[in-house]
Amino acid sequence: MHKIRTKTLHQEIVAQIQEMIHKGILVKGQKIDEKRLCESMGVSRTPVREALRLLKSDGLIDLIPHKGAFVSQPCIEEINDMFEVMSVLEGTCARLAAANMKGKDFKRIESLHEELEEHYRNRDYEAYLKKNHVFHVFIQELAGNKVLNDVINGLRQKILLYRQKQLYQPERFDQSIQEHRVLLEAFRKKDPSSAESLMKHHLLMQCKALVGLYASKGIKGGNRRKNRKNARS
């Protein structure tokens, strides 16, 4: 683990903890050893605690009084809810991007897709995931809607860690690149309606793969929806 630069202290600590969760170094329910983090990163406890507060707001960390910080994990129902919302938001981005894009914008989309194809051929999951993130962020930028951008950014870091895990499910890599191929054609044709529906489908297929991953590990959903229905009755 590398030492932290002072000017972006808590942001970099946040990024490192997110990476540790993504790689499985930190797992659901595990207590985070603040002292060990401080020593390994070469920082004081103040920025570490600020980073943990930010991670709590993202839903990645639970801060329990007098006990400490623990790695959180949404249940399957919460994962479904996040992807349902994100599919609508990113679908809207795709629609606006298709309507707004110029020739140079499509060339950039095409270039990003070619890189995805290369990583797919090489079966390079990590490189594919990184470039896929760049692709989705670029579509978001093309949408040109500041309010939409702010709302998505509020969800993006929270969903990103779970979004990445789904690619390792059997056949999901093949499905993902095919979904990108048809999405590219919608952008090529500047078809806002198709771009929106294909992007929504892409996100919902990610969710389906992730739910399958959770089910294979015996992770069950909570009773939140059942309780909500009871509260209404």
In CATH, what number is assigned to the domain containing residue 38?
1.10.10.10
Residue type, 71: V
Same domain assignment for residues 49 and 15: yes
Same domain assignment for residues 30 and 125: no
How many angstroms separate the CA atoms of 20 and 60, rounded?
Answer: 12
Residue type, 56: K
Q: How many C-beta neighbours within 10 Å does residue 98 have? A: 27
Instruction: Please state at what angle helix 125-143 crosses helix 146-165, rounded to 10 degrees.
Output: 170
Q: Residue 226 domain-assigned?
A: no
Domain that holds residue 39: 6-71
pLDDT tens per residue across all 233 residues of the chain:
555 454 478 888 888 888 787 777 887 788 999 998 899 888 998 999 999 998 887 778 889 998 999 988 777 888 889 899 999 999 999 999 999 999 999 999 999 999 999 999 999 998 999 999 999 999 999 999 999 988 888 787 677 666 677 777 779 999 999 999 999 999 999 999 999 999 999 999 999 988 887 777 665 544 444 333 333 33
Q: Residue 53 domain-assigned?
A: yes
Same domain assignment for residues 113 and 27: no
Return all residues near 196 (Cβ < 8 A) that are at least 6 apart: 91, 92, 94, 95, 98
Same domain assignment for residues 206 and 107: yes
How many angstroms separate the CA atoms of 141 and 137, rounded?
Answer: 6
Same domain assignment for residues 31 and 146: no
Return all residues near 215 (Cβ < 8 A) that are at least 6 apart: 76
Same domain assignment for residues 155 and 119: yes
Phi and psi angles of residue 69, each rounded to the nearest 5 degrees, phi first: -105, 135
Same domain assignment for residues 134 and 148: yes
User: Is residue 70 within a helix (H) or strand (E), and if so which, with residue range?
Assistant: strand 68-71
Same domain assignment for residues 83 and 59: no
User: Is residue 61 within a helix (H) or strand (E), and if so which, with residue range?
Assistant: strand 61-64
Same domain assignment for residues 129 and 167: yes
β-pairing verdict for 61-64 and 68-71 = antiparallel
Q: Residue 221 domain-assigned?
A: no
Q: Where are the alpha helices (DSSP H) in the chain?
A: 9-22, 34-41, 45-57, 76-100, 103-121, 125-143, 146-165, 172-188, 192-216, 224-232
**What does pTM read for this prediction?**
0.75
Domain total in the chain = 2
Same domain assignment for residues 182 and 212: yes
Same domain assignment for residues 91 and 51: no
Q: Residue 1 domain-assigned?
A: no
Q: What is the CATH number of the domain that holds 112?
A: 1.20.120.530
Same domain assignment for residues 176 and 83: yes
